[in-house]
Amino acid sequence: MMKLNINFYKKMLLLLILSLNVSMFGQAKPKVLILATGGTIAGSAKTGVQSGYTSGQVTIDAMVNAIPDALKVADIKGEQIANVGSQDMSFEIMLKVANRINELANSNDVDGFVITHGTDTMEETAFFLNLTTKTDKPVVLVGSMRPSTAISADGPLNLYNAIAVAGDPKAKGRGVLLVMNDWIHSAQSLTKVSTTAVQTFMSPLRGLIGITSYGTNDFFNYPSQKFGKNSEFEVKGVSSFPRVDIIYADADMKPDLIDASIERGAKGIVIAGVGNGNMNKASLDACARASKKGIIVVRSTRVATGLVSRNVECNDDELGLIASYALNPQKSRILLSVALLKQRSLAELQKIFEEY
């Protein structure tokens, strides 16, 4: 009688059990790491019906515990990087987030990242991370317009959706994203347009990346500019950035603001210009003088939509200025701050503003 191969049957039984587990329970849940920085989403107020509140009062663990259904979507871990209102966001905190993401970019323990953040400067942090994080894994910023104690707080569902987006394989390779009020934005195109409305973010020039509804995602767009692994910017070991100031243009603008910025040590200046990045002659002359001193001057616009084109209303070639193209003043400042970590010519800087 043939002798039974016990080891063979043990292996077959194990394979059967594994196949049953897959069929019964599906694939393993994605692993999502939440890096918390504070903001309104972590804010609290004395009552549920008051507009005033204090940002950054709730820990990431408490926020996750408030949405237990999120644990069905992903395996979640949280780290408290900071707990501030985004008006107090700094390059120091941005660097901590970027370095932590880059540290774990190739780890099998993380499939996607969520960053909780206040909305006031969220577009700046999102754009900074888009320039400096070296991963195709989803990096998703999320916040809220109402504190956690509000009657109809928007934070819990926003966080739930952000976790679902960060764990979605279809979100890979789309750059840094922002999830708010069921919309998925690109860091390149989003901007805050309302002081109080829950639909505070819009992407007016290039449109949405997708939409999300109770954890079900629909992606229909990719960013067109450089980001992530294709970005040339490296911040490992960086501890500070050159000073770049934003100066707001208006009727009868005084050029001494430009001179004062230079005196205070600015290496770059972004003009939030009128119309197509324009300003009065006295200020243009001050910008030209600044450029001759080696100060980089970028023309952006205070207008909500539209490009700032080169050599249209101002002779950028003659004056030595940079046109911001699709970047608003705050994103122009972020890009210039990062770009000035390395010595670059005006032509190289202009190309950067075209590509990013």
Instruction: Supply the residues annotated as catalytic.
Output: 40
Q: In Å, what is the CA distance from 41 to each residue of 69, 93, 108, 246, 264?
A: 18, 17, 29, 28, 35
Tokens standing for residue 301: 């616009």
The model's pLDDT over 230-280, given as tens digits with 9 standing for 90+, comes to: 999 999 999 999 999 999 999 999 999 999 999 999 999 999 999 999 999
pLDDT(9) > 80:
no
3-state secondary structure of 301: strand
The model's pLDDT over 294-332, given as tens digits with 9 standing for 90+, comes to: 999 999 999 999 999 999 989 999 999 999 999 999 999
Give residue 126's pLDDT: 98
Give residue 20's pLDDT: 44
| pTM of the predicted model as reported, rounded to 2 decimal places | 0.90
The model's pLDDT over 169-214, given as tens digits with 9 standing for 90+, comes to: 999 999 999 999 999 999 999 999 999 999 999 999 999 999 999 9
- DSSP state letter for 106: T
